[in-house]
Structure 1
């Protein structure tokens, strides 16, 4: 998962508050489906990295045996 800083009240922000909250719920749903909730919480608690303009924070999620459900072979 990559987290990129964007400011909700910034004029160029492309979503309304309701759209943004819906988007966060969708992302949270994916993380839960991957059973990555605890991994994300632990990473956030332990990292000193913070998202900032133009720089994303990458949060690795170990999918385990379920990885074939989410990652396509090319």
Structure 2
């Protein structure tokens, strides 16, 4: 199944269940065999979740596992507080693309009042 970001409707994926580090790590390893780095990007008045091309198992990856998990936890905390866990969970489970060197996979997060607090 292939989604364009503007075809996803957050109303279809409400989830009071927060995303947790172990769930996301398990999903990434199950889908791609490696643990890609996830980062939030704030650009103008939008927030994007990016799946980066670097991954924890990569010899040149700059973080150890503990630091990686702490960073991922901070990213997930924002996603959960913004009520986007179901939306992101669905994307992680269904996105067909795979990050390539120098090219992240990007998910625009829907903006609402909860997301506004993260955009300055």
Q: TM over 0.5: same fold?
A: yes
Pairs aligned (count): 72
Higher strand share: 2
State the shift of 1:67 in Å: 3.3
Q: Which has the higher contact order (CA 8 A, sep 6+)?
A: 1
Q: Structure 1 stretches (4+) deviating beyond 3 angstroms?
A: none
TM-score normalised by L of structure 1: 0.78
- Residues in 1 aligned to 2:114 and 2:101: alpha-carbon distance in whole angstroms: 33
TM-score normalised by L of structure 2: 0.52
User: Structure 2 residue aligned with 1:27, among 75, 84, 88?
Assistant: 75
Unpaired runs of 5+ in structure 1? none
State the shift of 1:64 in Å: 1.5
Higher helix share: 1
Unpaired runs of 5+ in structure 2? 1-48
1:39-58 equivalences under 5 Å are: 39-58=87-106
